[in-house]
A and B are shown apart, each in its own frame.
Chain A
Amino acid sequence: MANINTNTRAQKMTFWEKIYLPEIAKGLSLTFKQIFEPKITRSYPEERFEPTGSYRGRPVLVLEEEGERCVACGLCSRVCPALAIEVQAGETLTRDKERYPEKFEINMLRCIFCGFCEEVCPEEAIVMSKDYEMVYQNREDAILGKDKLLVPVAQLQDRLEYLRTHQYYEPKAA
């Protein structure tokens, strides 16, 4: 008998607690109150959600005036846990940078939006955008090339600002 707990919560309840009715009334009062509160759902797609800089949407490449920032180092491709990224480097002879991505493809069917590519990028050249609307009619369309990935740097200021203020890696003080 020693193992049976006789001091249960039910045994300690008062009469009013045992009949439940006041508690039901309390709960329903909260429900009816919500009818008069402001709505937080929205009528998408007429009303759209505008994410903040912390949002991890479709990864994109940063395009600057003189061309893409990417130097095709392939670290994003190496770190990508889903193997979504394929990079082929080419050599430039005209620009200051030696390398550029001859081919840069992200397979959006593989991408899991983890943001590792952005974290590992030494050039801040691939960032997560605010784009969350990704609909493809077939598998081939879901493989995005440079033409679809390059986004002018001006459109990515929120994210770049966020990255600078929220460093994943804090450099050691000298």
Chain B
Amino acid sequence: MPTITIDDRKIDAKAGQTIIQAALENGMDVPHFCWHPSLSVAGNCRMCLVDVGMPKMNPDRTPALDDNGNPVIMFMPKLQIACATQVSEGMVVRLGHPKVETAQNAVMEFLLVNHPLDCPICDEAGQCKLQEYGYKHSNGASRFDETKNHKDKRVSLGPNVLFDGERCISCSRCIRYAKEEAEQPVLSFVQRGDHVTIETFPGTQFDSPYSMNVIEICPVGALTSPDFRFKARVWDMSFNETICTGCSRGCNTQAGVRNNEILRLEPNTNMDVNQYWMCDHGRLTQYDFVNQNRVTKPLVRSNGTLAETDWNDAIQKATELLKGVNGSEIAVLGSSRATNEDNYALARLAKEVLKTPNVDFFRFENASFGDAKLRKSDMSPNSIGADAVGVKPSAGGVSAKDLAAKISSGAIKALYVLDDDIAALSPELASALDKLKVLIVHAHNHTATAKKAHVVFASATYAELEGTYTNFQNRVQHVEPFIVTTENERKMGMKMSRLDKFGAHNDRWTQGERRNCRQSWRVITSLAKGLGANADAWRYRASEDVFEELADKISFFSGLDYALLDERKGVVSGEAEKEFAPAFEYESHTLKPN
């Protein structure tokens, strides 16, 4: 454990660490562009230059002391890059020395020689490392009077990545990412000097399933997403921590929201789940179903067509329909895409109120989706949780596999479906649904299943509910709502973008849809009471009440509560008692709260 001194602060660094790691872990900022903790060290941006000194040694290898008895420090004649200089015992580092500041200013001036002044039209503006350092580490003056270099703009490096050569500062983060993390080494520098630019090798394109992560790690706006390009300025969005529901990895993400609409998803650092990355599939597919084609109100079928109605009416109608069927003729389907809370409430409804053994859920396995990196072949966020809370057939119950056959044979007359579009799973199941006497569905979107239903409950998506998901590591992760519905409208602590916060009801930019959808456990609770269950046993007022009961009754969740999940960014089942020390988490650059 070498002890080093950074700006008069003694630090116990780890052997083999570089100066930048030691400084960042101890809360000191070293400006840098090209260094990233999970990539190899390139040392080419020269932004992290620091003044490094070592104690002077006597011929007998004892430290030389000055008149006051302090060790004499010999500073190196040239500044060193903090990202490639390893710490050693007695090292003294000066981050704020005037020599360092002069060097940082010179590097900034050099980088800005050919960088276009197009921040107003750049998607990165507001969360740009170059822009930030332009304020912090540059005096803003340029001695460059000549014409800036012009390079290709809007070059497609792959289906999901666009490259703007002029904005590139040649830090090589994307090249190293493609090679080391995405394992698709197709990017390379071409040309030399100030003509240097980045290209894909001829005949290849950067189409890795993880290609879009280069957009975040790019310190400037040289790499942009064709999916998001120009949709919104970053300061007009609120950024909300959530998780991706695309597969059972449950990557931590940040959703950019404006006018009650998700505009983009980005990875959020969680070293235990997804590190700094997420896959393109999650990024591109996990917001459309929240924004579009939503069931905005409960629907009830009358005279053959589904008509919008209010909650009381829909619940009453569902109660009547369920009362007309024997318990053993009802099948209840939970969802591996719904939260632990919703599945738990549903399992209770099935076993305690409907008294049916036919409880199960469909799994969404896709072996071609999974890989050795982040993507898992189980393409639902909560199949482990649904299993753990007891969504499985009791003795003699009908399983999901046999469901289509049992409906066709008439053994099952009523079906209760949570969230999933089961009609899309197989044509047999889709045609079997038509034979049902009662089909009650919780649905986000107007799916094929919802269209066949007798009662449709407008269901909240992961963006609109509070709850927990259990990923493939048995890690329980807590999500909070960030899209406003009539149910969560007054929830404390919801983030709002500037426009939403200050908009009045008659401003056009606050007219985003407020849907009348509810979390499934709330609907199930009302339904249970309607079916004559003991109201004392169904006394849930918030998701937290459901989770408390869950943690109390099911050993898988024992010891967990929302505060603990938030503090540790998710807890693995059975590790609630384990010692926890918050680790340093690196954020390359993100929007600074104003």
A residues apposed to B, CB below 8 Å:
71-75, 77-78, 83, 86, 89-91, 97-99, 105, 107, 122-123, 139, 143, 172, 174
Q: Quick one: given A98-B153, A139-B506, are A89 and B235 in contact (CB under 8 Å)? A: no
Taking A83-B502, A86-B508, A122-B120 as contacts, is the C-beta distance between A74 and B153 under 8 angstroms?
A: no
For the complex, is B536 an interface residue (Cβ under 8 Å from A)? no
Question: Bound complex: CA of A110 vs CA of B274, how far in Å?
Answer: 45
Given A122-B120, A172-B141, 14 new contacts (CB under 8 A): A72-B121, A73-B233, A74-B236, A75-B120, A78-B236, A83-B507, A89-B230, A91-B230, A98-B153, A99-B230, A107-B507, A107-B508, A174-B141, A174-B143
Complex Cα distance A143/B510, Å?
14
* A78 CA to B594 CA, complexed, in Å: 13
A172 to B143, CA, bound (A): 12
Q: Are A98 and B154 in contact (CB under 8 A)?
A: yes
Question: Contact: B230 with A78, CB < 8 Å?
Answer: no
- For this complex, 20 residue pairs linking A to B, each with C-beta atoms less than 8 Å apart, are A71-B121, A73-B233, A74-B236, A77-B236, A78-B233, A78-B236, A83-B499, A83-B502, A83-B503, A86-B508, A86-B509, A98-B121, A98-B153, A98-B230, A99-B121, A105-B508, A107-B507, A107-B508, A122-B120, A139-B506
Q: Which 10 A-B pairs have the closest CB atoms?
A: A73-B120, A89-B230, A74-B233, A86-B509, A122-B120, A71-B121, A99-B121, A91-B230, A73-B121, A99-B230
Expressed in whole angstroms, the Cα–Cα distance for A107 and B510 within the complex equals 13
Give min CB distance, A74 to chain B, whole Å: 5
Chain A CB within 10 Å, residue with most, of B141, B229, B230, B506: B230
Give Cα A107 to B503, complex, Å.
12
Bound Cα distance A83, B233 (Å):
15
Q: What's the minimum C-beta distance from B260 to chain A, rounded to whole angstroms?
A: 15
| Closest chain B CB from A98 CB (angstroms) | 6
Partner of A90, one of B120, B230, B503, B507: B230
Closest CB in chain B relative to A57 CB, distance in Å? 23
Instruction: Tell me the minimal C-beta distance from B472 to chain A in angstroms.
Output: 38
Flag if A78 contacts B508 (CB, 8 Å).
no
Residues in B with CB closer than 8 Å to A78 are 233, 235-236
Distance in angstroms between the alpha carbons of A78 and B499 in the assembled complex: 9
Q: Which residue of A lies closest to B509 (CB)?
A: A86
A71 touches B233 (CB 8 A): no
Q: Residue among B120, B143, B235, B506 with the most chain A CB within 10 A?
A: B120
Contact flags (1/0) for B492-506 with A, using CB distance below 8 Å? 000000010011001
Cβ–Cβ < 8 Å partners of B502 in chain A: 83
Q: Nearest-CB distance from A147 to chain B (Å)?
A: 15
Mostly helix, strand, loop or mixed at chain B's interface? loop
Within 8 A of A (CB), among B115-163: 120-121, 141, 143, 153-154
A89's closest neighbor in chain B, by CB?
B230
* Contact of A143 with B120 in the complex, beta carbons under 8 Å: no
- Nearest Cβ in chain A — how far from B189, in angstroms? 24
- Residue-wise, chain B 504-521 has the 8 Å CB interface mask toward A (1 for contact) of 001111000000000000
B92-129 contacts to A, CB under 8 A, are 120-121
Contacts of B121 in A (CB 8 A): 71-73, 97-99
Distance of A107 Cα from B504 Cα, bound (Å): 12
In the complex, what residues of A have CB within 8 A of residue B143's CB?
174
Residues of A close to B153: CB separation below 8 A = 98
- Nearest B residue to A143, CB-CB: B508
- Least Cβ distance of B234 to chain A in Å? 10
State in angstroms the CA–CA spacing of A105 and B508 once bound together.
Answer: 9
Contacts of B231 in A (CB 8 A): 89
Q: Which residues of A contact B499 (CB under 8 A)?
A: 83, 86
CB distance from B312 to the nearest CB of A (A): 35
Taking CB atoms, residues of chain B closer than 8 Å to A91 are: 229-230
Instruction: Please give the distance in Å from A160's CB to the nearest CB on chain B.
Output: 19
Which residues of chain A come closer than 8 Å to B154, judged between CB atoms?
Answer: 98
Q: Is the CB of B235 within 8 A of A72?
A: no
Give chain A residues whose Cβ lies under 8 Å from the Cβ of B120. 71, 73, 75, 122-123
A77 to chain B, nearest CB (A): 8
* Cα separation A172 to B503 with both chains bound (whole Å): 38
Chain B residue with minimal CB distance to A75? B120
> Which residues in A have their C-beta under 8 angstroms from that of B503?
83
Q: Which residues of B contact A123 (CB under 8 A)?
A: 120
Chain B residues in 8 Å Cβ range of A174: 141, 143
How far apart are B331's CB and chain A's nearest CB, in angstroms?
47
Q: How far is the CB of A169 from chain B (nearest CB, A)?
A: 13
* A123→B506 CA distance, assembly (Å): 30
Question: Which residues of chain B in 205-248 are interfacial with respect to chain A, using CB atoms and an 8 Å cutoff?
Answer: 229-231, 233, 235-236
Q: How far is the CB of B117 from chain A (nearest CB, A)?
A: 9
A72 to B233, CA, bound (A): 10
- Find the B residue at minimum CB distance from A78: B235
Q: Report the bound CA distance from A122 to B117 in whole Å.
A: 10
> In whole angstroms, how far apart are the Cα atoms of A97 and B121 in the complex?
10
When chains A and B are docked, how far (Å) is the Cα of A74 from the Cα of B123? Answer: 11
List B residues 15-72 near A (Cβ within 8 Å): none
B593 vs chain A, min Cβ distance (A) = 15
Determine whether the beta carbon of A72 is less than 8 Å from that of B508: no
State the CA gap A97–B154 with chains docked (Å).
12
